[in-house]
Amino acid sequence: MGALTLLLPVLSSILDRFLPDPQAKAKALSDFMEAAQKADANQLEVNKAEAQTGSLFIAGWRPFIGWVGGVALAWHFVIKNVLLAFAGYLDEKLVTAILNMPNLDQNLWELITAMLGIGAMRSIEKIKGATK
């Protein structure tokens, strides 16, 4: 609900325009928060069900995305450069072929950064004992 708390001042100012009565405004804000909490609780139940399944198709998508990101970073910063170093001794055409291979897309950085942030939050929860 972190993003919703950022929206509360905006929602409050909008409600000021349409609901001049303070009690009606408080009720509307309360209803909004209650609906948001129910949505969060429902998503939590879905997450629990996904985590308990043994299917890699359902529970394995997060690790898969992590591995794809890790392999992409390894390719871009390690593997490609090592291949270039050795290819320089072997064949000029091989160097050209390696240089023409795809580069790391900027959007992949956003995905990896977001996943690392989520992973860090999860680790902090485990340290604090918020999870089992």
104: pLDDT strictly greater than 80: no
SS3 of the chain: the string is: CHHHHHHHHHHHHHHHHHCCCHHHHHHHHHHHHHHHHHHHHHHHHHHHHHHHCCCHHHHCHHHHHHHHHHHHHHHHHHHHHHHHHHHHHHCHHHHHHHHCCCCCCHHHHHHHHHHHHHHHHHHHHHHHCCCC
pLDDT tens track for 42-71: 888 877 777 776 766 556 667 777 788 888
- Provide the whole-model pTM: 0.42
Q: Structural domain boundaries of the chain?
A: 1-55, 60-132
